Structure 1
């Protein structure tokens, strides 16, 4: 029984170690893309109608008025100068429509579109997008969008107060555009593929090549540079390129990450990579607090004496500086030790930004510091 428990415990530890070792593995399809297999951006100008008085001001948004006139003329109705000058509708808004045309999209496929106001409309809630051609950079129309908007924001108010949640001047139509023209692209008939890594890294490229060659055989993949990998289709997949790509992209690789700290001074956000290291350095950080207090001192004349009561402001300024704890961080500490050491001195996120900048300036930070 004791031997059985020992074997069970050893097996559990082995499974745990295996799970831990493969927890950081990532599929090739999540690390790289085939050259040419990508999305294409589309854009168009359109009109949203049916708004409850929250559309563009025709007097200010001249382009909205002109677009309405052009639409009415295309419908076969005449537009006189008198009618043109009296147009005051607030139920229409000019918008820009954007979409992403996925690879291998065929005519008739539905894609999502994003609608954003370009005038002074206060809300697009309840509106319907009229037929809008979506064009690519070459000027050709690849899709046509139309339909009711789904707006995730609201805005109500009057002259003295206003309540707003999210952004009511932007909406989305799921499957709101139909593809009218496909982008000419086909996978190479020879089966030779060129993969482009999403993050340039020599180590990740080498590991990916080794994993592909280990799975399909030596000579299947070879690196071209730190981002590109050329892959040849094995003889066993002749005439079945799709199965080869599906099998290849399911291979798991452990990507390498650069030692990098990214800080955003506007929001106080800090992201540190696990490979960030620092040399032996002592950090001391103290905060200077200024407390300004204003009071009103009232001076009254003596009883039965002439004079007026005078109220004079009095200002008191007090400067307080918190004690800066000196913390020594030894060389080669990892991410968790850095976080514990900096938390020990009570550093806030904005304090950490200043500390990282000072450590980098001192030459003790072994990693890249990116400031957004």
Structure 2
């Protein structure tokens, strides 16, 4: 058989697999974003006042006292030199926010307020006017308002109960935008569509979907970015991008991947994960260490002293592991059935998957997070 014939047979096999497992079309706005349309992070340092005795211990957080003195000085209140402040109703906090694209002065955005010192709770507090700066050091918003803290706590007789987190809260609409950030959409007569995840197949599908609506308008720059010709008039460009974002695009089939969370023992795999024939022996090893204290009494009139001795013992028990023959699986249901036959818990399954990957039996990318 010639090379061309073998190539045709291979392409036919790939096509049959693709037809057998069709991917569902998604909107372009769910797969990609428009270049230049992005958020900007803001951060600021401020004070929360009005706490019910749950603020910072000023002896351990000197920056809180310094901030209070500076704030009072700006308000015309001068404290005597060497004055020691013992405050319980104030807490130093960091204020963070995300400035959305195309935000204009006067618009309001949400802010998150988080304690910096040793305040026990921010519940019931009010954030004093705090400037929020961007990465360039410029002030882009001013934040102030009452905190919404979803937690609660109570204590009595040495017992304490806490529900949720009390050291952080949010202020809905708590910051007012003072400076706009330029967000140029495209360069000249072109805009750029940037995929959320780089994939050459998906990029080509996006180009095909756009060119079906506006022939010759789109071309792929690489596996993530697509250049699209767009009207230069701002009004027409906005309308064009609105239609562009709602185009239906069929994403390419993703690579086989298994995600393992080593902290929680969670294992997630996508539909393309496959197994080759392999044998797995699964058993358990238990090590028990006991320490028993014994009292050694001296004989009467011997002049000896009572002593405490430790008697330790170590017991090792290994359960017999059964050898399982796992057949090759070509779909997710077969893979799950094969792994369930082993009878391992999630943490043990992580070790088995890693061993399968090392032996070449797991036909997927294994990622541990």
Per the alignment, in what secondary structure is the counterpart of residue 81 of structure 1?
coil
Structure 1 match to 2:332 = 335
Q: How far does residue 323 in structure 1 lie from its aligned partner after superposition?
A: 3.8
Alpha-carbon distance change, 275 to 88 in structure 1, aligned in 2, over 3 angstroms: same
Q: Cα distance, 1:184 vs. partner?
A: 1.5
How many residue pairs were aligned? Answer: 339
From 165, 171, 181, the counterpart of 2:163: 165
Equivalent pair of 1:297/1:314 in contact (CA under 8 Å): yes
Q: For 1:240, what is the secondary structure of its paired residue?
A: helix
Deviations 1:137-185 (A, max 9, x none): 1111000000000111223336843222221000001111010110012
Structure 2: unaligned runs, 5 residues or longer: 1-19, 296-307
Q: Residues of 2 paired with 1:136 and 1:312: CA distance?
A: 65
Question: How big is the shift at 1:234?
Answer: 7.1
Distance 2:59 2:234 in 1: 66
The Cα shift of 1:344 comes to: 1.5
**Using the alignment, how far apart are the partners of 1:32 and 1:166 within structure 2?**
35
User: Aligned runs of 1:190-339 on 2, under 5 Å?
Assistant: 190-214=188-212, 216-233=213-230, 240-255=236-251, 256-290=253-287, 319-339=316-336
Distance in 2 between residues matched to 1:358 and 1:75, nearest whole Å: 66
In the alignment, the residues of structure 2 paired with residue 166 and residue 357 of structure 1 have an alpha-carbon distance, to the nearest angstrom, of 36
Q: After TM superposition, list the pairs within 5 Å mapping 1:69-88 onto structure 2.
A: 69-82=69-82, 85-88=83-86
In structure 1, C-alpha distance between the alignment counterparts of 2:139 and 2:289, rounded to whole Å: 63
Q: After superposition, give the CA deviation of every residue in 1:257-287 in whole Å (9 maximum; x if it has no partner).
A: 2211111111111111111122221122111
CA distance in 1, matches of 2:280, 2:218: 48
Gaps of 5+ in 1: 1-19, 299-310
Could you tell me the TM-score, scaled by structure 2's length? 0.84
2:351 counterpart residue number = 354
Q: Deviations over 1:172-214 (max 9, x none)?
A: 0111101011001233474421011111111111111112222
Task: Determine the C-alpha separation between the residues in 2 that align with 1:295 and 1:29.
Answer: 66
Q: Distance in 1 between matches of 2:248 and 2:31?
A: 10
1:118 offset after TM fit, Å?
0.6
What is the aligned partner in structure 1 of residue 182 from structure 2? Answer: 184
TM-score, L = length of structure 1: 0.83
Residue pair 2:34, 2:185 contacting (<8 A) in 1 also: no
